[in-house]
Amino acid sequence: MLPVKPSLPPAKRRLLELYDALDDQDRATLTALAEFLVGRQAGGVEPLAAFPEPVHIPRPAEESVIAAIRRLSQTYHMLDKAAMLHQTSALMSAHILQGRPATDVIDELEALFSGHYERRRAGRGG
């Protein structure tokens, strides 16, 4: 663990301490979640006339939930991720904390992203 700069605000210091206490897999999870949160802030949706088609990326035979979220975020890059944050977080938590199989969670994530895309494309938000 690296020493944390005392000049950092307490919240940043605490986040670095927590990050340092994690193993590599959990660090990747935390980083993916942070990237997801930052991505949703970019937000904004394009007018319907300019609404792009998804860029389908094939699902690998072996895929982690985090990798699936990244893949689906790239596939459905046009979506406002804030609208899906609660559901995405709940699915990730079900996998990490409750031990739901990754394949089941990924199936639900694919349905979640696709459903939001279809609703947004139809002009009903998402």
Query: Scanning the structure block, which residue is given the tokens 């609404």?
Result: 51
Task: With respect to residue 28, please indicate whether it lies within any of the assigned structural domains.
Answer: yes
Asked if residue 7 is part of any domain, the answer here is no
DSSP 61: S
How many separate domains does the chain show?
1
Q: Is residue 30 part of a domain?
A: yes
Q: Is 2 in a helix, a strand, or coil?
A: coil
What is the residue-level pLDDT of the chain in tens, covering all 126 positions? Answer: 555 556 888 888 888 888 899 887 777 777 777 766 666 665 544 444 456 889 899 999 999 999 999 999 999 988 888 888 999 999 999 999 999 999 999 999 999 999 999 888 877 555
What domain range is 49 assigned to? 24-121
What does pTM read for this prediction? 0.59
Determine, yes or no, domain membership for 45: yes
Residue 84 lies inside a defined structural domain of this protein: yes
Residue 6 lies in a domain: no
Q: Which long-range contacts (CB under 8 A, 24 or more apart) does 109-115 make?
A: 109/65, 109/68, 109/69, 109/72, 110/59, 110/68, 110/72, 112/84, 112/87, 112/88, 113/72, 113/75, 113/76, 113/79, 113/84, 114/76
